[in-house]
Chain A
């Protein structure tokens, strides 16, 4: 997966768990929570979807790495390098 794919993968997941949010204009380096309404439970859903769709386990101490789209890319890139973007 390229970095763009990872951004798309996260956006796809957000659309699934919060279908009424607009993800198109999300900024890369601004915290997701400052841009859309996600609570800690929603982040658990992001973690669960990452595991289900891409087999990536995000341990609890690393949840903070999912704060913004850019930090998601930085953190997930090594784990997703050899994975394909799942169409949803």
Chain B
């Protein structure tokens, strides 16, 4: 007899873990399946040479106090019944967007950004305030809106450089598309990053994941590692379960997949897989590095939390094609620059630069290693143009590429932010199979948890896809 469950979740990233908790909480027998031997998805952790490395989590967006109950982070924690205090969030010290001739500082106090804009773009101050108020009054979720956020902002603010600079951190932290982002995603990113801001759980990604996996266990959900899903079984338009890589069959009428839309269509096989072949693939992917420094980063003069840099007159956010990487645009993260973090003997410095998946796929062992090193050196060289030169202080490092992302998360083309057009209604075309996480339009750690928990609730309450309004 095949094993049975009420619900199966594919993937143990933030979306899958949150969904699993909410399904199990509703009394459904729930199994979360993860192909990797570790949970966390794009946010994970490992040890190398005795040192801890974190993947993902530069910043938890949507920083908000518990009293701000309607905001996404307090809300999703409440839904998962994990006390927000358990995260021990430390606020960012302050972040910066650096362009060749001007920089804009911002923090969790929106006024800092507003006063920077007033001081550096005085002609745009009034239009900026008007936009900011409008966005402050808007909910996170808006539908439709202007076709191009860039064009809309340019019309409203009248200054290309200001538009480039305001969009830069938002594109970097969530746009699946080059240069521009849909208006609905722009609104979410603006609110999550500029209005609410950045925080870090004390200790980083590990304690956050520990809370999620612990809560899943507490409510009776099961997490199975090294359990990749090969096929989603379906008959006559209804989901029946999954077939694992090792041939095991698990039966369930409900499957929530965080593996990606196209990846999930492929698992359905047949005409679905044919459709998958014609779906556009996400192209935004990155080379990420993590360096350990001989002393703490702030003591070396790194004083910002996140720096979004851009070394070109116009803002660049696009695949590096045909080059394997493009370090003219990137992100620097100093995890020590959050309040309330424990002092570490060694400093940590993380960078992300633009990349493109195809080039990396074709490289053989030696060339692959050489390009990794080249991308790393270019990233740190870029950093040293606006911050202290970290290179003399590096004692250990690791670099990962789009190929690493695909290897560990099965994400096609290493597309961190998924497909360009999101599956907003979570529908897969097969009854009982729902898309959650990134390709459902819920990005980042907090976004993925909100999306996963939301779809799980609708499904579990038997009200799928419809708003409950008592």
- A: residues with CB less than 8 A from B are 16-20, 33, 37, 39-45, 47-49, 51-52, 57, 59-60, 63-67
Contact = CB atoms under 8 A, between A and B. Distances in A.
Contacts of B70: 37, 39
A47 B78 contact: no
Contacts of B75: 39, 41
B272 interface: no
Contact of A51 (B26, B457, B468): B26
Nearest to B458: A44
Contacts of B27: 48, 51-52
Contact of B468 (A18, A20, A40, A52): A40
Interface in B428-470: 454, 457-458, 460-463, 466-470
B302 to A, nearest CB: 38
A52 B26 contact: yes
Contacts of B460: 44, 48
Given A37-B69, A39-B70, A52-B26, A17 B81 contact: yes
A14 B169 CA distance: 39
Given A17-B78, A18-B78, A59-B462, A47 B468 contact: yes
Interface of B: 25-27, 66, 69-70, 75, 78-79, 81, 454, 457-458, 460-463, 466-470
Contacts of A44: 457-458, 460-461, 463, 468
Classify the interface of chain B: helix, strand, loop or mixed.
Answer: loop
A65 B470 contact: yes
Contacts of B462: 57, 59-60
Given A45-B457, A60-B468, A16 B463 contact: no
A75 to B, nearest CB: 11
A39 B470 CA distance: 9
Nearest to B25: A48
B220 to A, nearest CB: 11
Contacts of B470: 33, 40, 43, 63-67
A45 B79 contact: yes
B469 A40 contact: yes
A63 B469 contact: yes
Contact of A41 (B66, B81, B454): B454
A49 B26 CA distance: 6
Contacts of A37: 69-70
B221 to A, nearest CB: 14
Contact of B461 (A17, A48, A65): A48
A86 B25 CA distance: 16
A57 B66 CA distance: 32
Given A16-B81, A48-B460, A43 B468 contact: yes
Which 3 residue pairs spanning A and B have beta carbons closest together?
A: A52-B27, A48-B26, A63-B470
Contacts of B454: 41
A63 B75 CA distance: 21
Contact of B469 (A20, A47, A64): A64
19 contacts: A16-B81, A17-B78, A17-B79, A20-B66, A37-B69, A40-B467, A40-B469, A40-B470, A42-B79, A43-B470, A44-B458, A47-B461, A47-B468, A51-B27, A52-B27, A60-B466, A63-B463, A63-B468, A63-B469
A43 B460 CA distance: 12
A71 to B, nearest CB: 9
Contacts of A57: 462
Contacts of B69: 37
Contacts of B469: 40, 63-64
Residue of A44, A45, A60, A64 with highest tally of chain B CB at under 10 A: A44
A52 B6 CA distance: 13
A60 B462 CA distance: 8
Contacts of A40: 467-470
A60 B81 CA distance: 24
A8 B26 CA distance: 20
Contacts of A16: 81
Contacts of B25: 45, 48
Nearest to A57: B462
